[in-house]
Amino acid sequence: MTKEEYLERVREAAVTLLTETEAQAWKKENEDQPFYEFADAVDLPDQLHSLIDSTCESTWQGAIEVLNHSDQDPDHVDSGIYEGCSWKKILIILAFEVYSWDVSGLAEEMFNNDEFEEYLMPLESNQRQIGHFPDIQRYKIPKGAWAVNLHSGIKVMEETRRCFPKAPLGFSVVFEGETEERPSHFIVYAKRVYTQGGDDSNIQQDLERCQEEYGVRILP
């Protein structure tokens, strides 16, 4: 990844953030209101975290590229959020933070300058996630002890992990998106599906397990 490619990724993410939160319409209805008022009104930190989490680098090699291309100072990242992590994980966390600062900073600049575009950045699929955005995929997830309602999605996980959150990483899959609750199941309009398992986890294999063991179904 070149610096130009990184800056383009930041721009696409910033435009997507403003598009999803309907920033242009909000600003027209709330003239002379500062960016922080807009951010508070639309829960921008949560929207930003979800976007960054789904588009950031998930390998230490990719993290190094982000840190090399960003003008942010990684020394400003609170060391408390990566204390005790491996050096590879530390690099990924640092990259997540500086990428987040770059995107939020550009989004604020574009908001202040009335630079609004209509664009939704596609979410790519990789070993740890299946991207369904902007083409949303519906999933039907039966209710049970394995299904945790996150309100921003549904997590399917082994009951041992639910009962003992500090247990070693095991099977845990998140279907992220708008959720509808029915008497016997949930419908998730998923933007993405990702694994929270260990480093060797594969989302395709974990999704198959969700289907075979927990009755998860892909809907048309």
Prediction pTM value: 0.82
Alpha-carbon torsion angle 175, 181, 187, 191, nearest 10: -40
| Residue 106 to residue 146: CA distance in whole angstroms | 39
State yes or no: pLDDT of 201 exceeds 90: no
User: Per-residue confidence at 161, pLDDT binned at 50, 70, 90?
Assistant: low
- Per residue in 107-135, pLDDT (tens digit) is 999 999 999 999 999 999 999 999 999 99
C-alpha triplet 172, 199, 202: angle, nearest 5°: 60
Nearest-CA neighbor of 216 among 107, 159, 137, 150?
A: 137
State yes or no: pLDDT of 164 exceeds 80: no
State yes or no: pLDDT of 169 exceeds 90: no
Structural domains for the chain: 3-112 (1.20.120), 129-219 (no CATH)
- Cα–Cα distances in angstroms (integers) from residue 179 to residues 6, 146, 182, 191, 207, in the given order: 32, 16, 10, 11, 18
